[in-house]
Amino acid sequence: MMYFIESVTTLTSTGKSRKGALLQTVVKPIEHTLLKGDDSVVILVKYLQALVDKCNSSFRGNTVYLHFNPESFHIYACGEKTGSEAYIFSISYAPVKEQFFFYDLPGAILSPIENVCGRDFAQEVYDAVDMTKGGAR
């Protein structure tokens, strides 16, 4: 299984403390990356939890909590306040359904077109693509 890290959101008001700045610095580089392996998200959460625990014990300030909601594909850290203004970071991810290579795309795109609009319509779309230049004619 692979997971795509869709977005990593950081809030500027919570990144001013050493805790917030460190946590945001750690998570920002994983935006738009793939996690490979069935347990990869759980392992990411374990590392983030260890970092949050270490930050809480090493730096003064409000306690930071890490939340993991696998049903909603969401990982976030926040302070004691409620609401999104307390977020230090928020990670949204999604399971990758399929992996397409360039040579898979014509079939993946044209098959549903053919089912909805017919073979001639799909053929016209196929013919409009100039693969020698990497773009449409």
How many whole angstroms separate alpha carbon 21 and alpha carbon 51?
12
- Please tell me the predicted confidence (pLDDT) of residue 79: 86
14 band by pLDDT with thresholds 50, 70 and 90: low
Of 77, 96, 102, the closest CA to residue 88 belongs to: 77
130 and 81 share one domain: no
51 and 113 share one domain: no
- Please tell me the predicted confidence (pLDDT) of residue 99: 82
89 and 108 share one domain: no
pLDDT digits 0-9 by tens, 81-129 = 666 668 899 999 999 988 888 788 888 889 999 999 999 999 999 888 8
- Please tell me the predicted confidence (pLDDT) of residue 81: 65
Last residue of a domain, one of 63, 80, 95: 95
18 and 40 share one domain: yes
82 and 108 share one domain: no
Q: How many domains is the chain partitioned into structurally?
A: 2
Structural domain boundaries enclosing 117 = 102-136
Residue with tokens 């793939």: 34
- What mean pLDDT, rounded, does the chain reach? 89
Question: Is 21:61 a contact under the CB 8 Å cutoff?
Answer: no
State mean pLDDT over 35-57: 96
74 and 24 share one domain: yes
